[in-house]
A and B are shown apart, each in its own frame.
Chain A
Amino acid sequence: MTGTTTWLTCGVLEAELSELLRRGEIRGDLLVLDSKLHMVPPHLEKVLSSALERRPQGKGGRVVLVYGDCCPRMLDIARTFHVGRVDATNCAQLLLGKDRYRELMREEAFFLLPEWAARWKEIFHIELGLGREVARDLMRDNRGSLVYLDTGLVPIPRSTLDDCAEYTGLPLKVEAVGLDRLQGCLLEAETAAETVEGGYLS
């Protein structure tokens, strides 16, 4: 594979991609955007497009979007800018694989990744305006359990997760996911990016 790969990623997976780079499992540069952009998908779309437009031309190499289907035109963005993208609808599916993701979603799981787990209060209170009572009603109506995806890079934040489980009224489960599936998806997307017409930024 020639040239450098730029992994344009959501901050929710920054630690995991950094670790894969450190281990030499993937190669290239990270370009990280704030995971909170996920809360306003049209805004994410603008920021993502802008990041791709701003990327210096003439450097060579390829870009891989490490994003699920997180904004209304994600597939179009990948096509328009001739970049690769991981084959997953969201970050949970990227870590779990499609089959396990579907199994857990059929059990109405609500996923927390390590980066979001640390910010759950900010997301629930400030971003969504959900007080405890409404949060409990909403989550219990729509979800069956809180599932923390443990990528193994940081200790499981038990106290934080217990607080979140208490606030939402959902039982907590921890699912060890590691980084293998993520790594596989990244490498597949990188290979596919080679074959995208005009996939190289020249």
Chain B
Amino acid sequence: MDVPDCIGKLIKAMMEVDRAGASVLMDHALAEGMSPELFMSDVLDPALLAVGKSWGEQKVSLAQAFVGAKIAEDVLLRCLPKGEVPPTALRKGIVVIGNIEDDFHSLGRRMIIPFLQASNWEVHDLGNDVTAETFVDKALQVGASIVAASAMMQTTALNIRKLRDLIDGRGLARRLKLAVGGAVFNWRPELVAEVGGDGTAGNAGAVDALLSRLLFQAGEGKSP
């Protein structure tokens, strides 16, 4: 099985909500001698990019997006033992992620984490209902250059403003960038500026590019 064939089959499994089929596909690829690293970089990455693009174009159902993320997670678990962070040489950067205070809609956040890990980001997930102070304290503790705050609704999105104010108030704006995301930002992009976000991504496939850009703006990483 060559790489393009493998990519096509993995995309098909994701679109057909066939998690078991994706697992069998990976078994075959590894049995035929493909390394786990190659499967991640040359098969999983392009497949996620394709599915992420369809997601952005709203051609993907909730079930397809969710299973796509689960397949990515399955691949990562087999290629990268649970809890292990990417080797420093490969790591793009460190990001602290969570749903902002009062927001409990975790699905989108949880779905992008495997995408980020597959793209060699070290991710610290704080969960739901996270205060501005917790975000910033954790970022400083782990040396993150980016905090990513998720919100589903207009009222909870406005709580991100507290995070913006705290980052600015502590004089961290140059080295700690604020990514924002969640359904409400897709529906009304002007809210990104209103809450003081440094950028957003409309879908999981676009998050890697957003974070790479923000990392560069924070004075780290390569020019995207």
Any A CB within 8 A of the CB of B154: yes
Residue-by-residue, is A61-78 near B (CB-CB < 8 Å gives 1, otherwise 0)? 000000011101111100
A198, CB-defined interface residue at 8 Å: no
Contact of A89 among B67, B156, B183, B188 (CB under 8 A): B156
Contact between chains at A74 and B154 (CB < 8 Å): yes
Cα–Cα distance between A102 and B129 once the two chains are bound (Å): 9
**B63: chain A residues within 8 A (beta carbon):** 128-131, 134, 138
- Is A3 an interface position by the 8 A CB rule? no
Q: Does A28 count as interface, using CB distance less than 8 angstroms?
A: no
- Report chain B residues within 8 Å CB of A137: 19, 66-67, 70
Contact with A along B87-128 (1 / 0, CB 8 A): 000000000000000101011001000000000000000001
A54 close to chain B: CB less than 8 A: no
A interface, size bucket: 20 to 34
Number of A-B contacts (CB under 8 A): 63
- Nearest B residue (CB) for A127: B62
Set of chain B residues within 8 Å of A106, measured between Cβ atoms = 104, 128-129
Per the CB 8 Å criterion, the residue count for chain B at the interface is 24
Residue of B at shortest CB range from A101?
A: B104
Whole-angstrom distance between the alpha carbons of A108 and B129 in the complex?
11
Residues in A with CB closer than 8 Å to B70 are 137, 141
Q: CB distance A89 to B153 under 8 Å?
A: yes
> Is B110 a contact partner of A73 (Cβ separation < 8 A)?
no
Instruction: Check B66 against A138 for contact (C-beta < 8 Å).
Output: yes
Q: A105-B104, A134-B17 are known contacts. Are A129 and B62 too (CB-CB below 8 A)?
A: yes
Asked if A195 is an interface residue, CB under 8 A from chain B, the answer is: no
Q: Is A202 an interface residue (CB 8 A)?
A: no
Is the CB–CB distance between A142 and B110 below 8 Å? yes
**Within the assembled complex, what's the spacing in Å between the Cα atoms of A131 and B110?**
20
**Interface residues in chain A, defined as those with a beta carbon under 8 Å from any beta carbon in chain B:** 41-42, 68-70, 72-76, 89, 102, 105-106, 108, 128-131, 134, 137-138, 141-142
User: Which residues of B are in contact with A by a Cβ distance under 8 Å?
Assistant: 17, 19, 61-64, 66-67, 70, 102, 104, 106-107, 110, 128-129, 153-156, 183-184, 187-188
Minimum-distance CB pairs A-B, first 7: A72-B187, A69-B153, A105-B104, A129-B61, A69-B155, A129-B63, A72-B188
